[in-house]
Amino acid sequence: MFQNRNIMALFIAAILGIAAVIVANSFLSGVEENQQRAAEEGRLIQIAVARVPLDYGATLSPENIRMVGWPATSMPQGAFQSTKGLFGPESRVVLRPIEAGEPILPGKITGFGGKASLAELIETNMRAVAVRISDVAGVAGHIYPGNRVDVMLTRQPKLDGEQGETEQITDMILQNIRVAAIDQNPSEKTAKPKVGKTATLIVDQQGAQKLALAGQVGTLSLALRNPVNQDEFAAGTIGTRDLGQGDRSQSLYAGAGKDRAGYGTAPLPNYASFAPPRRAPAVAPRPAAPPTPRGDGPTVQIVRGTESSVYDVKRHRGY
């Protein structure tokens, strides 16, 4: 009996010992992981940052670049970890403004020997297209390089079923388009509003074709977007018949804006169903039927409106 108790006690002690070892290992492993994580977060990597504010067209040099320690876990992608990648046989030029202390990234500077030109700002497979604007179409000069805009086209197509009759409509042909330059200024640090004559937009190949055609068939207008709002929506065709409809959500132009968000443009609606009603031509009154001869004697014809009646006149003796 005592022997069985001793065996049971040893068994329980072994189980408790194993559990204690497992708990201790888990605790020590957690401590080591926390220590490694803290060391990793505290580890700094040397990267190149701007010593002073750098504007568009500035040339990189050792005087305006310095190396600083940056947390390894938050290092920007593409950051230069040595000055050897920045300086070479030919200099690099700034394409987008860089603030003091901001990391130098490849997308904001040219390659070796590059120039501060608009071509350096165009992404792969994209195109830069200039459109004509005015004080009204350009939002009174409040559109700057780097802003996002929507492009609208106003034109006067012919109405279906009518000969020569036109009606003004406006289509949203492009949305959320980046402005690369106003006139010849691509700098994003423009401080004061300035009314320009042209706006250069960055679009894809299809968007470039749309802008070229739209500039020939109508008038283009730009709508400035909030930089935080990048959403695109299904925009329909708006015409003169929609003016005065208040907040009516359904346009009077059937079929406009169906599944045409983004670079799409709403199909031209069927204006025949909204053509003004034509007046029916006036029907000429039917001519009155000629009086039927009623004999050889004298008659009297009486006309009442469009009806005519003939009466015989009896002869009296002596007449």
pLDDT of residue 268: 44
User: What is the SS3 assignment for 239?
Assistant: strand
Smallest CA-to-CA distance from 62 within 86, 29, 45 is with 86
pLDDT of residue 264: 41
Residue carrying the six token digits 């604007």: 133
pLDDT of residue 234: 82
The answer to whether 80 and 47 have CB atoms below 8 angstroms apart is yes
- Whether the model clears a pTM of 0.75, i.e. scores above it, the answer is no
pLDDT of residue 275: 42
* E strand segments, 83-168: 127-132, 148-155
pLDDT of residue 265: 41
Burial 51-62 (b: 16+ CB within 10 A, else e): eeebebebebee
Instruction: Show the low-confidence residues of the chain (pLDDT under 50).
Output: 254-280, 319
pLDDT of residue 38: 59
Here the tokens at position 152 are 């609208």
* E strand segments, the chain: 44-50, 65-71, 127-132, 148-155, 169-182, 198-203, 219-224, 238-239, 299-304, 307-312
